[in-house]
Amino acid sequence: MPAGSITLLNATRIPSTGCLVIPSRFHPELLAEMERMFTGRKITWLIEEKTSFDASTQSLLEKSSSGAMFSAHDANPAAAGKELSAAIQNGNVLIYVPAKIAIRKASACHIPSPHLKVLCAFALPILPIAIDLPRESHLRIEKSSALPIATYSIAHLIPASESSPAAYHEKLLEAYEEAYSERKFLRSSLAIALLQGLKLHGRSNRILDGSDDVELPYDRVLAAAIALSRYLREETDKPRVAIVLPPGKGGLIANLAVIFAGKIPVNLNFTAGHEAIRSCIRQADVDRFITADPFVRKISSFPWPPNRDLILIERVLPTLKKDMIKWAIISKFLPATWLAKLLGADKKRDHDEAILLFTSGSSGEPKGVALSHRNVLANVCQFGTRLDLKRPASILGCLPLFHSFGCTVTLWFPIIEGIDLVTYPSPLETKRLAELIAIHQVHVLLATPTFLRGYMKRIDPTQLSSLKLVVTGAEKLPANLTSAFEEKFGIIPQQGYGLTETSPATNVNLPDPIVSKGEPMIPCSRVGSVGQMLPGIAIRITDPVTDAAVPVNQQGLIWLKGANVFQGYLHQPQKTAEVLTKDGWFRTGDVGRLDEDGFLYIEGRLSRFSKIAGEMVPHESVEAAINKVLGLDQESERCIAVVGVPDEQKGEAILLLSTVAGPALEQECIDLRYKLLDEGCSALWCPRAIIPVAEIPVLASGKLDIKGCESLAKRG
């Protein structure tokens, strides 16, 4: 695809019959492209009556021989649709011209929902067209001028009988995914991207390690990582190297070194049980473990291998000082592609395995998730361009490196995009974290709701005054925690969503764009949702019982597709086949729906639903209802958890684990039942029994430990 070009994808989907064409956004070349696309067919331009355009677009529209207007407030759009149907007779087309509107970069749909509702209510066949602008949403290491101007991707035609905002969003996102997946940088190498980032941002950005307050500019990180990579190539012939380190300069350099050695980093979950850790080591087939002596002593319970297999980073790096000086000089003069070739790090790219992560094991044995170069590069671009951070910017990296979000967003993202990285080994020590945020004026905080609760205690609000964005994931963000955090710190936590298998981010709520009074805008945040889809990610919804496709605005099982979606579990083709179709659709295991503006709502994990008397009962919704009727404080800690158990009569029943249960459990269960019924909840939502526990099991990532909860329920 030559630079400066406009590419048309899926032209064979353009029907010969007439239709209403709805491009996803305004683009300066839109009118000319539409005329070329429908050469020989009469075009009628359709415009919302209150829309204004720039002078050149207005002039072109006025020169057109045919135009029509509609109102977003039309009380009878079906009647208007009958009148407009004349414009699509004999293969002619009616083309909607979207207005320019305030919205964040890389948003798939720029059409306000009131406009889209009316357009769909015309009951005409609809042809969505996704417009991807790489020059608007690209990695900072890419040269904007070398990128294509735009890609126009034709979606599948929506029959008049099926026209709806939900159908439009579904088909548009599929077409956008196809356009995004054509981007050239996805065929590149993570190693080359990291080398480019470290060189480009070498003097302007740095890592600030909060464990010892050492600051390292990225060019020094580059030299250390290359020197260590040469050492690693001599140490092992295995394709993967294990890393057992917390967030910090050691963890960053270790991961970079493994990548630059042409190998695959495996960040192990040192908080998991021995059996799970041994399973990960066996599956990954590693024989060398990069760690640090103080960390070995700190987590002595870890099933450490023999000392000969340990590479203690704080001992090895001082012996490589001469090599570091040499590589610091070489890396200043050689281009990143030459460096990668010299290091032997350019042989793997695109669909080749780049990193290996393991699922949390919250509902079973950890599964190896092999993420490709394509996966990681895609997600860095998807996440980074939607955030659109203004420079200079900094991010707090305290999530574990074995956590998928901690890996992509606090390892690869800051380096490639030129963000200062402030690190600390634990997300639980909020007092120290707040100090680091204040000292280094951190802009972005990533956390889970469990970790966010820690900031509500003993933290001075002024310490977090520099934050521009707080994003949570891994578990549902309770509404009262959101409001309490905003009240105390003056910033709204934004809920996101992702999975290890999607590299991980797929959705995120973000602050709305700043606009002048009266300027049209599409919201970028909606309470209760996990946000709109990140660019290049498509979604489908199916019935959890029948697997039949349902409209995306109806609750069902979520399927995702995109360049960030993994290619399968390590050495487990059967489990891969259970969640991944041959054409790349991933079965998330989560239940949810899209609203009219494309915001995704997660109703719960399929494994956290109980089928009781034929009805799907969502555990998270039950927990929210119980928290409400009992007046439990979700700001401080998790006090309850719902667990499903077999039941002979109804198929399943639910039990309630509670840290606040009293001695009269039977009476408390009866009282809770009446409170839930008074609240309007179904009788199926009422727990069969309450089991008192000392604490609710939680994983190191902040997620609920489902296996741990089930074990407590069985013992209870």
Q: Over the stretch 481-494, which tens digit does the pLDDT of each residue have?
A: 999 999 999 999 99
* Mean pLDDT lowest among 3-7, 207-211, 336-340, 640-644: 3-7
Per-residue pLDDT reduced to its tens digit, 439-484 = 999 999 999 888 898 999 889 999 999 999 999 988 888 888 999 9
* Mean pLDDT lowest among 350-359, 389-398, 471-480: 471-480
* DSSP 8-state class, residue 14: S
Per the prediction, the chain carries an average pLDDT of 91
Percent of the chain with pLDDT over 70: 97
How would residue 395 be classed by pLDDT, with cut points 50, 70 and 90?
very high
Per-residue pLDDT reduced to its tens digit, 50-78 = 888 888 888 888 777 687 788 878 889 99
Q: In what order do the strands lie in the sheet with 310-312?
A: 310-312, 289-291, 240-243, 264-267, 353-358, 368-372
Give the C-alpha separation, 560 to 650, whole Å: 32
pLDDT at 378 over 50: yes
> What does the H/E/C string look like for 565-607?
CCCCECCCHHHHHHHECCCCCEEEEEEEEECCCCEEEEEEEHH
Tokens linked to 387: 């955030």
Q: What average pLDDT does the segment 680-699 reach? A: 85
* Mean pLDDT lowest among 138-152, 255-269, 443-457, 614-628: 614-628
Q: What average pLDDT does the segment 135-139 reach? A: 93
pLDDT in the model for residue 632: 82
* CA dist 184 → 8, 108, 190, 563 (Å): 15, 19, 13, 12
Give the C-alpha separation, 407 to 400, whole Å: 8
Sequence-distant (6+) residues with CB within 8 A of 644 are 608, 609, 610, 619, 652, 653, 654, 655
Facing residues of 670 across strands?
none
Q: CA geometry: angle at 289 spanning 287 and 290, to 5°?
A: 145
* Mean pLDDT lowest among 312-321, 452-461, 705-714: 705-714
pTM for the model: 0.89
pLDDT in the model for residue 4: 62
Give the C-alpha separation, 20 to 301, whole Å: 65
* Mean pLDDT lowest among 142-151, 529-538, 559-568: 142-151
pLDDT in the model for residue 716: 67
Q: How far from each other are the two terminal CA atoms of the chain, in whole angstroms?
A: 63
Which domains are assigned to the chain?
6-182 (no CATH), 190-592 (3.40.50.12780), 608-715 (3.30.300.30)
